[in-house]
Amino acid sequence: MKYLVTGGAGFIGSNLTRALLASGQRVRVLDNFLTGKRENLAGLTGAHGDAFELVEGDLRDPGTVCKAAAGVEYVLHQGALPSVPRSVADPVLTNEINVAGTVNLLLAARDAGVRRVVFAASSSAYGDTPQLPKRESMAPNPKSPYAAQKLAGEHYLRIFYEIYGLETVSLRYFNVFGPRQDPGSTYAAVIPRFITSVLRGVPPTVYGDGLQTRDFTFIDNVIQANLAACAAPKAACGKVVNIACGERVSLLDILEIVYKLAGKRVPPKFEPARPGDVRDSLADISLAKDLIGYDPKVPFAEGLARTFDWFKSAEQGTPEPGRS
């Protein structure tokens, strides 16, 4: 197999897997289905034959991870127990998966002779520093267990490159969104929650005043970044780069766009701000451009329109192209 995608049944992982297979690559997925969904991988075995392989197992199990890494050239490490609120509720479990699981993967990749590991890091590592945009040279200040765990992963990747020579690149994702993102989870991201709530006529929940801003990143840009990180020169190894669009939008602004796309308004309900959430976020993506050649192709508004169309089709029961 050319690629191993950990967490390949999740939102980001399944989109990566499908994009790789569509381009003719061979892909192995490792997932324990704790948060990943089998329907995200529906139809892949029949459509792609032996180009697709699923290993059902857990990052916390070294034997399973070694099996998954065997014979692989590139590892796209998306596997994690995501979300800030979940880490606040259960810091021990999230640490076991997000930190110990990452170490297991790095050891397996080193021993299997993997060419490069690309890690799904998180902009949450910056914390709530007022300085914008966020640059990789800024001192991290994580506000949640999840943020601390992702930051630990970055350090482990750098150390494995410096000590063992395992090529690694960490991509600090900024609020990724797009098709297959789960709107029903307790810890669901804001965009799928907003879209499905408005489509169903249910008041969308806004935590805080809704004026907090994010640099939302459409999934196609993240796919591009992962492929670019695999092909980047060795100058990128051991480094951390921001992956975003370099534009920010407030939650209330998103709601207004969703209202226009849906052709109706559903007034939101406001809840207290959640512990661990940052107020504002905006990325400087110049280092990613310099080191890995990253250049986001899909701006926020276009990505939101595409995402809305996908969820609208899903609500109407329209089959997704290429799925059985």
Give the DSSP letter string of 138-171: SPP---SHHHHHHHHHHHHHHHHHHHH--EEEEE
What is the pLDDT confidence band of residue 321, given thresholds at 50, 70 and 90?
Answer: very low
Nearest to 256 by CA among 246, 248, 265: 265
User: Please, what is the Cα angle at 107 between 104 and 109, to 5 degrees?
Assistant: 105
pLDDT surpassing 60 at residue 323:
no
Residue 32 has pLDDT above 80, yes or no: yes
Q: What is the 3-state secondary structure (H, E, C) of 241-293?
A: EEECCCCCEEHHHHHHHHHHHHCCCCCCEEECCCCCCCCCCCECCHHHHHHHC
- Total domains, the chain: 1
Average pLDDT of the chain, as a whole number: 94
Enclosing domain of residue 278: 3-316
pLDDT of residue 288 exceeding 80, the answer is yes
Mean pLDDT of 247-261: 97
For residue 72, being part of any structural domain is answered with yes
The percentage of residues in the chain with a pLDDT greater than 90, rounded to a whole number, is 88
Residues that are catalytic: 146
Reported confidence tier of residue 322, pLDDT bands at 50, 70, 90: very low
Percent of the chain with pLDDT over 70: 97
Q: What is the pLDDT of residues 134-148, one digit of tens each?
A: 999 999 999 999 999
The pLDDT value given to residue 46: 74
pLDDT band of 164, cuts 50, 70, 90: very high
Q: Is residue 263 part of a domain?
A: yes
pLDDT in tens, 53-88: 999 999 999 999 999 999 999 999 999 998 888 999
Domain-located, residue 40: yes
- Mean pLDDT confidence for 252-274: 96
CATH code assigned at 238: 3.40.50.720
**Given a cut of 50, is residue 289 above it in pLDDT?**
yes
Q: Is 324 inside any structural domain? A: no
In a domain, 219, yes or no: yes
* Tens-place pLDDT, residues 211-253: 999 999 999 999 999 999 999 999 999 999 999 999 999 999 9
How sure is the predictor about 320, in pLDDT bands with cuts at 50, 70 and 90?
low
Summarize the confidence of residues 148-171 as an average pLDDT: 98
Domain membership of residue 321 (yes or no) is: no
Strand partners, 56: 31
Does residue 9 sit within a domain? yes
Interior angle at CA 75, CA 71 and CA 80, nearest 5: 130
pLDDT at 186: 64
- Match 């765990």 to its residue by tokens: 149
Q: What is the band of 22 on the pLDDT scale with cuts at 50, 70, 90?
A: very high
Mean pLDDT on 143-158: 97
- For the stretch 95-134, pLDDT in tens is 999 999 999 999 999 999 999 999 999 999 999 888 999 9
Give the pLDDT score at 201: 97
